[in-house]
């Protein structure tokens, strides 16, 4: 339905139209087809005119919800309250499914004129060229700017020390590719789109002796040969990260 990224109503209906099977010997209009043989096709999905039936009696005119009977109001509120509970449950599940990468990517500050800037500007006084910007949440970007916006290549350092090295970025779709450097010293490479990691990626332990495969930002089971991890980096057009020992103690679980 091409609804990616669109706000969705909480309540939808789906209209099903009964039909005879295509091979029904008596044809499509015969009414003797038994229920267990009848097929159904979707006529339409609808959200524009869906309502709570016990509230609809007061829709339009001068009537308001105050005109709904107490019994109907109680029944309808049970349903609407349940819709809210289920919506929150779905949002929570969606959040938990997001990887630690996507939670970081969503926080990258690509707004025009965001943060306190020091660096090069163009003839119109806009941020352009090499510069450094500190943002309200404590993150710091150091690298390339264009038209007042942080672009690539450059490096974001979050307030807690996690670093994302941006190798490619498309502003309109918040997509690109880069390298995460976690506080544990481990490093992971990925492509991303709409603030979410996509496709294959790879990760390396802090000592560079172990590697693993990523799929949509999720670590896959089993080890990955170092040569295979290097091949993933090559396909992504990224360099194998130079691993840096972590500052003090650090574990991957603290990188969230």
pLDDT at 159: 93
pLDDT at 254: 44
Q: Which residue has the tokens 């918040």?
A: 174
pLDDT at 224: 95
Cα distances (Å, whole numbers) of residue 112 to 71, 106, 127, 147, 175 = 52, 16, 9, 8, 17
pLDDT at 109: 74
Low-confidence ranges of the chain (pLDDT < 50): 249-254
At a CB cut-off of 8 Å and minimum separation 6, what does 16 contact?
A: 40, 41, 42, 43
How far is 202 from 191, CA to CA, in rounded Å?
10
Question: 133: closest CA among 167, 105, 109, 102?
Answer: 109
Helices vs strands, H then E, count in the chain: 4, 12
pLDDT at 250: 47
Q: What percentage of the chain's residues is helix, strand, coil (to nearest 5)? A: 20, 30, 45
pLDDT at 97: 65
* Local structure of residue 161 (DSSP, 8 states): S
pLDDT at 246: 61
How far is 189 from 177, CA to CA, in rounded Å?
8
pLDDT at 52: 75
pLDDT at 253: 39
* Local structure of residue 71 (DSSP, 8 states): H
Q: Which residue has the tokens 């789109």?
A: 193
């Amino acid at each position: 339905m091409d609804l990616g990224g669109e706000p969705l109503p909480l309540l939808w209906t789906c209209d099903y139209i009964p039909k005879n099977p295509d091979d029904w010997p008596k044809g499509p209009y015969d009414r003797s087809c038994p229920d267990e043989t009848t097929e159904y096709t979707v006529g339409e999905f609808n959200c524009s005119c869906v309502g709570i039936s016990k509230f609809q009696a007061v829709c339009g005119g001068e009537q308001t919800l105050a005109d709904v009977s107490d019994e109907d109001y109680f029944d309808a509120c049970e349903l609407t309250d349940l819709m809210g509970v289920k919506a929150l449950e779905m949002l929570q599940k969606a959040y938990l499914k997001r990887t630690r990468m996507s939670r970081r990517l969503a926080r990258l500050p690509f707004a025009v004129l965001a943060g306190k800037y020091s660096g090069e500007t163009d003839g119109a006084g806009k941020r352009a060229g090499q510069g450094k910007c500190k943002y309200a949440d404590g993150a710091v970007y150091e690298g390339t700017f264009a038209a007042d916006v942080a672009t690539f290549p450059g490096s974001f350092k979050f307030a807690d020390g996690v670093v994302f090295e941006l190798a490619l970025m498309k502003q309109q779709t918040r997509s690109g590719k880069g390298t995460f450097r976690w506080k544990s010293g481990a490093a992971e490479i990925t492509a991303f789109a709409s603030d979410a990691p996509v496709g294959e990626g790879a990760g390396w332990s802090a000592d560079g002796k172990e590697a693993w495969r990523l799929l949509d930002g999720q670590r896959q089971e089993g080890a990955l040969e170092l040569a295979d991890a290097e091949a993933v980096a090559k396909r992504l057009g990224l360099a194998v990260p130079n691993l840096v020992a972590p500052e003090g103690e650090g574990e991957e679980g603290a990188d969230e």
